[in-house]
Amino acid sequence: LVGEALQPVVERLKKVVGLDLQLQPLPSPYWGCDQVVTGLLTGSDLLEGLADRDLGELLLLPAVLLRQGDAVFLDDLRLEQVEKKLGVPICVVGGAAEVVAACLR
């Protein structure tokens, strides 16, 4: 549901030379919804929604996808499992400053 709200931020970051940033809004088959709030997306939603996509060099995920204090999604998949199955390193970000820092490293 936040995809449209984040699009202006993504467009600004795309102006950084050498940075190719893509926003990937996803449905939640786990909950049976086309649109859900970010914090309800599960590991299996990510695996299904991002399968066969070019994810580049790094996948940024909002920290609200994980249980507080643990690298586990609502469906009990661990962050490491999702990272391994997607085949791309994952960086968990907690806010705008962390998104920018991850994009510029």
User: Looking at the whole model, is its pTM more than 0.85?
Assistant: no
Give buried/exposed letters for 77-102 (b at 16+ CB in 10 A, else e): bebeebbeebebebebbeeeeebeee
**Look-up of token digits 């998949």:** 77
User: Residue 26 in contact with residue 45, Cβ under 8 Å?
Assistant: yes
Ranges of each domain in the chain: 3-104
Query: SS3 of 85, please?
Result: helix
Q: What is the pLDDT along the chain (105 residues), one digit of tens a residue?
A: 456 667 787 788 878 888 887 777 786 776 766 766 777 889 999 999 999 899 999 999 989 899 988 999 999 999 999 999 999 999 998 877 888 888 877
Does residue 56 contact residue 20 with C-beta atoms inside 8 Å? yes
Q: H or E segment at 91?
A: strand 90-93
